[in-house]
Structures are given as structure tokens and as C-alpha cells.
């Protein structure tokens, strides 16, 4: 098996950055450390990655991100964009440029048009949020053999992705069900609201939720499908027709648009009578969480997903690093009591330290 720069660093007891400085004779490295690294290089018969050598020669590298427009899903997509832009800043000194290609989440044709633009830009790798499942499947099947791509937010199994930076969606749905069980005991009715289009990770949330409830004495759970672009009066009319004044005791909303349901219930005077569990710390959701209309939010660390996806893509290209097929982030439960303290710890400073470790001892 061919040795990597990571193998050299591990056997020499130094960082990857130190090996890089020895290889390219730059920066400060003590004589003792240099000799130890050079010995390991000889012993392993290590050959530097040609692509990494090109980076050292200041040949620019272009990476892309294909994701929905930031204003969609209640501006949820601004959260991973924060992490992506932080990674972009951290990678800029390494002569890596990052471009975000934003598509309309509710249009397959727009996804395909924007994806085509991305592929014409001589990218070395791409980070993809595959909300348009079939369009994304067609895209990745058309990529050249060996072209690296990583999924984030969701993924499509067995499509050749280098990795997927995601939450364990099925377990996340199970956690949501356990939280709902605390709020809705016995046989009282619980329903699921699914804003469309759905994708793989949203369907896994539903499966995890339903399996827990149906396996714990609950009857089959009703699922209401709602076009994802519905909001305001249009959404309210649809919900009025569906509920007809008979509201369930609890509602599980499978994505960030739980604020739409919270606003609807508040306007009907039911803000504290119907238990609500959903996802993501966007401002509208935080507002209703603090008011007690939303009972629990689950965070999937979207900022860290965006950041980790780009940095993993870079490190694979630069150092030939192997990457786990799935990089799973924690399932974090947020309430009105801990939301402020949780938000105060979401600084991206710690993310940047992961990149600086590449070139530090």
C-alpha cells in the first residue's frame, strides 16, 4: 500500500505541516526533527503527492459548493454558508478558492442549470447538498471517474461520494420521538408535517420517529405533506382545512420550517396546547422556542457541516487523506432554558484551528 504524508507524520511523531516543511525546505524545523522526518521518508519510500506539489508552486485550486439559496427554508441555508465562508477564508492563504453555486430548492431544472455552470468552472472537487435527489443523482453519475465530491446536510447512498457530512438522521428522528413522548403521554394523537420536497435524510427522520412511536404502543402516525414554498395565509388555509378544528396533541416538523407551524398555532390561540418538536436554530425558531410555543429543537450543526465538508475535501486533495464514508455530527437537543448558552458556544474560531494544525507542530 502506498504511504501517505499522514503515515510519515505519524511515524516521525510530528504534524503533517512539519513533514510538508521538510519536503519543501521552507519554514523552521530543528535539525533533529528534520533528520527524523527524512529517515522516515526514506524508510517508507514515500513519494510526495504531485497535486500537493502543484499547490506549493502556487497553482490555484478551485473548489465548489452546490447548495440551495440561503433565503429558503426560513433562511436555514445561511447556517451552513457561515461554515463554508469560514473555510473559504482559512483556505485562501493556501491558494484555494471556493465558489458557492446557489440553486432554487423547488426546481429540478434550476438545480441542473446551476450544476452545469459549476462543472464548467474547472473545479477540482465539489461539496453538494443533494436536496433534489434525482437531479443530484444524475449529476454525480455524470462526473468524471475519480472526481471527488462530498455530500452535506443529506446524502444519497451508494453514489460514489468521497464522504457525507451528516447527522444520523434515523437516530435523530428517534430522539425527536422520545422528546415527543415526554410531552404527549398515552394514546393522544401525534402527527408529522413534511414540507416538500423531501430527501433521504428527512425520510430517515420520519422512519426513526415512526418506529419509536409505533413500537411503544402508538397507532400509525398521520403524515401531512405540504409544498415547501407555502407560507403565511396560504399555509394557514391548508392547515385549517386539514385540521378542521381537531388539532393533534403533538406535531413533529421534520425540517427547519417548524416556525411556520408555531406561528399558525399562535395565531389560533393554541401556542401552548400543541407540543412542537422540530429542527434548527434559525432566528424564527429561536423566537418561538423562547416563547414556549416550540418545545424542543434539534440542532444538526449546519455550520460545522459546511466547514468540515470543505476542509475534508481539501485535505483529501492535498494530502491524499482517507476520509470516513460518513462524518456524523452530534444530535443536540435545545430548549428555551439552554438556547442562549448553546448559541454562545457556536463560534467558528475552533473550526479555523483545524486548518492551522496542517502547518503547525
Q: What is the pLDDT of residue 95?
A: 87
Q: What is the pLDDT of residue 315?
A: 87
With respect to residue 350, please indicate whether it lies within any of the assigned structural domains: no
Confidence of residue 352 (pLDDT cuts 50, 70, 90): very low
Average pLDDT in the chain: 88
Comparing C-alpha atoms, which of 149, 171, 131 is closest to residue 256? 131
**Which of 299, 327, 342 represents a domain boundary (last residue)?**
299
Q: What is the pLDDT of residue 359?
A: 32
Say if residue 80's pLDDT is above 70: yes
**Which of 277, 299, 321 represents a domain boundary (last residue)?**
299
With respect to residue 113, please indicate whether it lies within any of the assigned structural domains: no
Beta bridge partners of 67: 102
- The tally of domains found in the chain comes to 2
Output 1 or 238, whichever has higher pLDDT: 238
Contacts of 323 (CB under 8 A, 6+ apart): 150, 162, 163, 312, 315, 316
Confidence of residue 92 (pLDDT cuts 50, 70, 90): confident
Q: Residue with C-alpha cell 403521554?
A: 185
> Cis link prior to 132 (omega < 30° from 0)?
no
**Which of 248, 282, 299 represents a domain boundary (last residue)?**
299
Confidence of residue 117 (pLDDT cuts 50, 70, 90): very high
Q: What is the pLDDT of residue 219?
A: 65
With respect to residue 36, please indicate whether it lies within any of the assigned structural domains: yes
Dump pLDDT digits (tens) for 18-63.
887 787 676 678 888 888 998 988 888 887 654 455 455 556 899 9
On the 0-12 / 13-18 / 19+ scale of CB atoms within 10 A, 251 is: buried
Residue 149 gets the label, from left (phi > 0), alpha (psi -120 to 50) or beta, of beta
Confidence of residue 348 (pLDDT cuts 50, 70, 90): very low
Q: What is the pLDDT of residue 49?
A: 57
Dump pLDDT digits (tens) for 195-250.
999 999 999 999 999 999 887 555 689 999 999 989 999 999 999 999 999 999 99
Dump pLDDT digits (tens) for 143-185.
998 899 999 999 999 999 999 999 999 999 999 999 999 999 8
Burial profile 50-78: b = 16 or more Cβ within 10 angstroms, e = fewer = eebeebeeeeebebbbbbbbbebbbebbb
With respect to residue 182, please indicate whether it lies within any of the assigned structural domains: yes
Strand 163-167: give its sheet, edge to edge: 96-103, 61-68, 125-128, 149-152, 163-167, 326-329
Comparing C-alpha atoms, which of 132, 139, 129, 160 is closest to residue 66? 129
CA torsion through residues 298, 301, 303, 306, sign: negative
Average pLDDT over residues 290-302: 96
Say if residue 356's pLDDT is above 80: no
Q: What is the pLDDT of residue 36?
A: 92
Q: What is the pLDDT of residue 215?
A: 73
Q: Which domain holds residue 211?
A: 169-299
With respect to residue 123, please indicate whether it lies within any of the assigned structural domains: no
Comparing C-alpha atoms, which of 210, 209, 277 is closest to residue 249? 277
Q: What is the pLDDT of residue 102?
A: 98
The CATH number for 262's domain is 3.40.50.2300
With respect to residue 217, please indicate whether it lies within any of the assigned structural domains: yes
Say if residue 5's pLDDT is above 90: no
Say if residue 346's pLDDT is above 70: no
For residue 66, what is its C-alpha cell?
452546490
Q: What is the pLDDT of residue 268?
A: 94
Distance CA 193, CA 274 (A): 13
With residue 222 as reference, give the H or E element that holds it: strand 222-227
Amino acid at each position: 500500500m502506498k504511504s501517505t504524508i499522514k503515515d510519515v507524520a505519524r511515524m516521525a511523531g510530528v504534524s503533517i505541516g512539519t513533514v510538508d516543511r521538510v519536503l519543501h525546505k521552507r519554514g523552521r524545523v530543528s535539525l533533529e526533527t528534520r533528520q527524523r522526518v527524512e529517515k522516515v521518508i526514506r524508510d517508507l519510500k514515500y513519494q510526495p503527492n504531485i497535486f500537493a506539489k502543484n499547490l506549493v508552486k502556487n497553482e490555484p485550486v478551485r473548489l465548489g459548493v452546490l447548495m440551495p439559496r440561503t433565503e429558503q427554508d426560513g433562511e436555514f441555508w445561511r447556517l451552513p454558508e457561515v461554515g463554508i465562508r469560514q473555510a473559504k477564508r482559512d483556505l485562501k492563504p493556501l491558494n484555494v478558492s471556493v465558489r458557492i453555486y446557489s440553486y432554487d430548492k423547488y426546481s429540478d431544472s434550476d438545480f441542473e442549470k446551476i450544476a452545469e455552470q459549476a462543472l464548467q468552472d474547472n473545479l477540482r472537487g465539489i461539496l453538494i447538498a443533494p436536496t433534489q435527489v434525482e437531479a443530484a443523482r444524475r449529476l454525480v453519475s455524470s462526473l468524471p471517474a475519480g472526481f471527488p465530491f462530498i455530500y452535506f446536510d443529506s446524502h444519497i447512498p451508494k453514489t460514489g461520494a468521497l464522504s457525507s457530512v451528516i447527522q444520523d438522521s434515523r437516530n435523530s428522528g428517534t430522539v425527536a420521538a422520545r422528546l415527543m413522548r415526554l410531552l404527549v403521554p398515552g394514546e393522544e394523537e401525534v402527527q408529522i408535517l413534511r414540507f416538500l420536497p423531501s430527501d433521504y435524510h428527512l425520510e430517515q427522520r420520519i422512519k426513526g420517529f415512526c418506529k419509536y412511536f409505533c413500537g411503544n404502543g402508538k397507532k400509525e402516525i398521520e403524515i401531512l405533506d405540504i409544498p415547501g414554498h407555502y407560507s403565511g395565509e396560504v399555509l394557514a388555509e391548508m392547515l385549517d382545512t386539514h385540521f378542521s378544528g381537531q388539532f393533534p396533541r403533538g406535531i413533529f416538523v421534520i425540517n427547519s420550517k417548524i416556525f411556520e407551524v408555531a406561528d399558525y398555532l399562535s395565531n389560533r390561540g393554541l401556542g401552548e396546547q400543541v407540543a412542537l418538536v422540530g429542527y434548527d436554530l434559525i432566528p424564527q425558531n429561536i423566537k418561538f422556542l423562547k416563547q414556549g410555543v416550540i418545545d424542543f429543537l434539534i440542532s444538526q450543526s449546519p455550520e460545522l457541516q459546511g466547514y468540515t465538508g470543505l476542509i475534508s475535501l481539501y485535505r483529501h486533495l492535498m494530502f491524499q487523506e482517507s476520509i470516513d464514508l460518513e462524518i456524523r455530527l452530534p444530535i443536540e437537543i435545545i430548549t428555551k432554558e439552554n438556547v442562549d448558552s448553546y448559541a454562545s458556544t457556536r463560534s467558528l474560531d475552533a473550526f479555523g484551528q483545524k486548518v492551522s494544525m496542517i502547518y503547525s507542530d
